Amino acid sequence: MSVIYLLIGISLLAALGFLAAFLWSIKTGQYEDDYTPGVRILFDDIKEKKTKNK
């Protein structure tokens, strides 16, 4: 059962990593706009649609 300390330790490391990512994402303004990201992905920025080369 003592292996749970290893698992908790590693899980906490992962959790802390995600926490850091979360704080980073907030600080860099990832979530300041929660409307356009959903719409933006619908647009393709393809220049010339057909560059056919098989």
Partner 1 sequence: MAEDNVNKAAEDKKEVSTDAADVKRKVEGNSAKLETFEYDNDIVRKFAIATLVFGIVGMLVGLTAALEFVFPEINAGIPYITFGRIRPLHTNAIIFAFVGNSIFTGVYYSMPRLLKTPMWSKKLSNFNFWGWQAIILAAAITLPLGFNSSKEYAELEWPIDIAIAVVWVAFGVNMFMTILNRRERHLYVAIWFYISTFLTVAMLHIVNNLELPVSAFKSYSIFAGVQDALVQWWYGHNAVAFFLTTPILGLMYYFVPKAANRPVYSYRLSIIHFWALIFIYIWAGPHHLLYTALPDWAQSLGTVFSIMLIFPSWGGMLNGLLTLRGAWDRVREDPVLKFFVVAITAYGMSTFEGPMLSTRSLNAIAHYTDWIPAHVHIGGLGWNGFMAFGMLYWLFPKMWGGKLWSTKMANAHFWIGTLGILFWALPMYWAGWTQASMWKQFTDEGILAYPNFLETVTQLAPMYGLRAIGGTLYLTGAILGVINLWKTAQKGSFIKTETAQAPALPKKYKKPKGEYWHRWIERRPVQFFILSLVAVVIGGVIEMVPTFLVKSNVPTIASVKPYTPLEIEGRDIYIREGCNNCHSQMIRPFRSEVVRYGDYSKAGEYVYDHPHLWGSKRTGPDLHRLGDKYPDSWHYRHMLDPELTSPGSIMPPYPWLFENDLDVSDTPDKIEAMQTLGVPYEEGYSQQAVNDLNRQAKEIASGLTEEGYEVAHDKEIIAMIAYLQRLGTDIKAQDQQNEE
Query: What tokens does 21 get?
Result: 């990512």
Give the nearest distance from C-beta 43 to partner 1 in angstroms. Answer: 10
Instruction: Name residues whose C-beta falls within 8 Å of residue 25's C-beta, 6 or more positions apart in sequence.
Output: 31
- Which residues sit at the interface with partner 1, rule CB under 8 A? 1-7, 9-23, 25, 28, 30-31, 33-35, 37-42, 44-54
> CA 17, 21, 27 angle in degrees (round to 5)?
145
Smallest gap, in angstroms, from Cβ of residue 52 to partner 1? 6
Whole-number minimum distance, CB 5 to partner 1, in Å? 6
